[in-house]
Amino acid sequence: MPGHSKIGGNERADKAARSALQALSPRQTQPQYITLVYLRRLMYQNRQDLKPPELALPRHFLQKLIAARTSHGDFAVSHRHLKHIDANLDCVCGHETSPTHFIRCRQHATQVRKLSKSVSIGITSFPGCHGWPSGVAISGPDSTRYLQGAITNNINSNSANGFYSVFLNAQGRILYDVFIYPFKEVEGKYRGEQGWFVEVDANEIESLIKRIKRYRLDSKFEIRTVPQTERSVWSVWSDIPNEPQITKLLAQSMNKVYPESVIGCADNRAPGMGYRFLHPGNKKLELDFEQCHENHYRVRRYLKGIPEGQTELIKEQALPQESNVDVMGGIDYRKGCYIGQELTIRTHHRGVIRKRILPLQIYDVDEKEPMNLTFSCEKDFGIENIPPNTSINRWKGTGRSTGKWLVGMGNVGLGLCRLANMSEIEVGGEVKSYKIGDEFKIEWESNVGMKTIKVKAFTPSWPILSKPFP
């Protein structure tokens, strides 16, 4: 301003005024030379300005806000009118969902993801549980340090609860998929001290013990097989949120670093997988649930695309990202060094995963392509006899296989699929060849000769909602 020069107080006032004017304007003045970087920044700013402020809300709140404003949202009446796959959708409280029901329903908040399912489950919806033989106990002052360098997850971040992880070989391929629980040793040299219980495929217990002993060097710990009479592992699930019986059982192991009785953890591999409990083998599981056959648990996994055990995660062949270990929470990319880390980290930073294990549904060659993934045991396809790694090919045409069959039951199973060939998922650096309506087949030698069936891959919704997939 005229007359303000060389007067300290006035110059400071002018400087403050100019700063305030600049702060009021979100736009930068046009530079002397217009560059490509400036134009890109300008286009981005224009796009941001055009976005409604509601888009900053979390996704599930935004969906319900749109439903309430338009009276045409995620509720049963409009689904039936549009013949949507969720036409019979009800709230967990038993009432039909409506544009305003979510406001007054207390149970809705914990079930947001259930309202956006794209895969229907055609098996038991009642509370269930299933038990397995036991695993391996590792105890001693160096047990934690040893496991930290041998598994993909961070044992230091999960020391209070059980967690999911895998052992890899030096080439970055899966050896064993495991659940690890904090454990108080009850016998041997380190009785009463800290330790870890490793739940592993029952057929791989001896193999895991031999491998750990081979690479223990001078580490101070002991390893032993835990019989089922001492500890048993249970998988428990219920469609009721915060089920009181499960909550009570979990409370027994909370706030205890190394619980002596029941040890529980959430099975976070996928929504709806429930909880896992390491329970004293000589005591009854204190749950008024129906004990299910192992097949119920297997089908539940298959429908969600969850592989388990070395029959499905083929030893020294399966890669962790292709086996969905990353989206199942089994890898901590921020932890320190561990065996097999190099390939795992490189794959993660490249960000290109061309194959994934996906749920598959089998149907006859003269049947129409199924639109929804649904379990049925009415027809015996004999898929239990399909050899693992059997090729999946296009129904018509030639070329390389589009995937590999792994395991199945009834009319559903799991397969390692090329995403660009068998799904609508975009894969960077690979030409997408899949089109809606494409059909695929499996051919194998059965007891009565060559057999052919059609197969369709489904992409589960849970990895897309929770983490990047692929």
> Tokens for 450?
């060559």
Domain count across the chain:
4
Confidence band of 33 (pLDDT split at 50, 70, 90):
low
Indicate whether 344 belongs to any domain.
Answer: no
- What phi and psi values does residue 241 have, to the nearest 5 degrees? -65, 140
Q: Which residue has the higher pLDDT, 307 or 51?
A: 307
Q: Tell me the C-alpha distance between 432 and 425, whole Å.
A: 9
Q: Which residue has the higher pLDDT, 430 or 423?
A: 423
What is the mean predicted confidence (pLDDT) over 422-438? Answer: 79
How much is the pTM?
0.69
Q: Which residues contact 436 (CB under 8 A, 6 or more apart)?
A: 424
What is the mean predicted confidence (pLDDT) over 366-373? Answer: 90
Instruction: State residue 426's pLDDT score.
Output: 76
Indicate whether 338 belongs to any domain.
Answer: no
Instruction: State residue 131's pLDDT score.
Output: 56
Output the average pLDDT for the chain: 77
Q: Say if CB 114 and CB 270 are below 8 A apart.
A: no
Q: Which of 116, 140, 160 is the last residue of a domain?
A: 116
State whether 147 and 112 are in the same domain: no
Of 320, 334, 138, nearest to 224 by C-alpha is 138
Q: Tell me the C-alpha distance between 415 and 126, whole Å.
A: 28
Beta carbons within 10 angstroms of residue 221's beta carbon: 23
Instruction: State residue 319's pLDDT score.
Output: 96
State whether 288 and 173 are in the same domain: yes
State whether 216 and 165 are in the same domain: yes
Instruction: State residue 43's pLDDT score.
Output: 76
* Full domain range(s) for residue 18: 8-50
Dump pLDDT digits (tens) for 51-104.
666 666 666 556 666 666 555 444 455 545 544 444 445 554 556 555 445 444
State whether 190 and 242 are in the same domain: yes
State whether 426 and 298 are in the same domain: no
Instruction: State residue 25's pLDDT score.
Output: 45
State whether 377 and 411 are in the same domain: yes
Q: What is the chain's length? A: 470
CATH number at residue 272: 3.30.70.1400
Q: Say if CB 374 and CB 364 are below 8 A apart.
A: no
> Tokens for 4?
């303000």
Q: Which residue has the higher pLDDT, 333 or 262?
A: 333
State whether 149 and 271 are in the same domain: yes
Dump pLDDT digits (tens) for 236-289.
888 777 778 777 777 766 545 555 667 888 888 998 888 888 888 766 677 777
Lowest mean pLDDT among 123-137, 151-165, 407-421, 450-464: 123-137
Residue 111 has pLDDT above 60, yes or no: no
> Is the backbone of residue 280 left (phi > 0), alpha (psi -120 to 50) or beta?
beta
Instruction: State residue 123's pLDDT score.
Output: 36
Instruction: State residue 84's pLDDT score.
Output: 43
Beta carbons within 10 angstroms of residue 154's beta carbon: 18
State whether 205 and 256 are in the same domain: yes
Three-class secondary structure of residue 406 per DSSP: strand
Instruction: State residue 85's pLDDT score.
Output: 42
Residue 465 has pLDDT above 60, yes or no: no
Tell me which amino acid residue 232 is: S
Indicate whether 72 belongs to any domain.
Answer: yes
Q: Which of 70, 91, 116 is the last residue of a domain?
A: 116
State whether 108 and 160 are in the same domain: no
The rounded radius of gyration (Å) of the Cα atoms in the chain is: 28
State whether 167 and 268 are in the same domain: yes
Three-class secondary structure of residue 24 per DSSP: helix
Q: Tell me the C-alpha distance between 98 and 252, whole Å.
A: 39
Indicate whether 23 belongs to any domain.
Answer: yes
Indicate whether 121 belongs to any domain.
Answer: no
Residue 357 has pLDDT above 80, yes or no: yes
State whether 135 and 284 are in the same domain: yes
Residue 469 has pLDDT above 60, yes or no: no
DSSP state of 410: T
Q: Which residue has the higher pLDDT, 10 or 304?
A: 304
Residue 107 has pLDDT above 50, yes or no: no
Q: Tell me the C-alpha distance between 140 and 150, whole Å.
A: 16
Beta carbons within 10 angstroms of residue 288's beta carbon: 7
DSSP state of 213: H
Confidence band of 350 (pLDDT split at 50, 70, 90):
confident
- The H or E element that residue 129 is part of is strand 128-132
DSSP string, 185-212: --SSTTTTSEEEEEE--GGGHHHHHHHH
State whether 41 and 62 are in the same domain: no
Instruction: State residue 178's pLDDT score.
Output: 95
Instruction: State residue 64's pLDDT score.
Output: 62
Dump pLDDT digits (tens) for 161-207.
789 999 999 999 999 999 999 888 878 888 888 889 999 998 999 99
> Tokens for 230?
């001492």
Beta carbons within 10 angstroms of residue 204's beta carbon: 20
Residue 347 has pLDDT above 80, yes or no: yes
Indicate whether 108 belongs to any domain.
Answer: yes
Indicate whether 329 belongs to any domain.
Answer: no
Q: Tell me the C-alpha distance between 176 and 347, whole Å.
A: 20
Indicate whether 160 belongs to any domain.
Answer: yes
Q: Which residues contact 303 (CB under 8 A, 6 or more apart)?
A: 119, 121, 122, 123, 359, 373, 375, 412
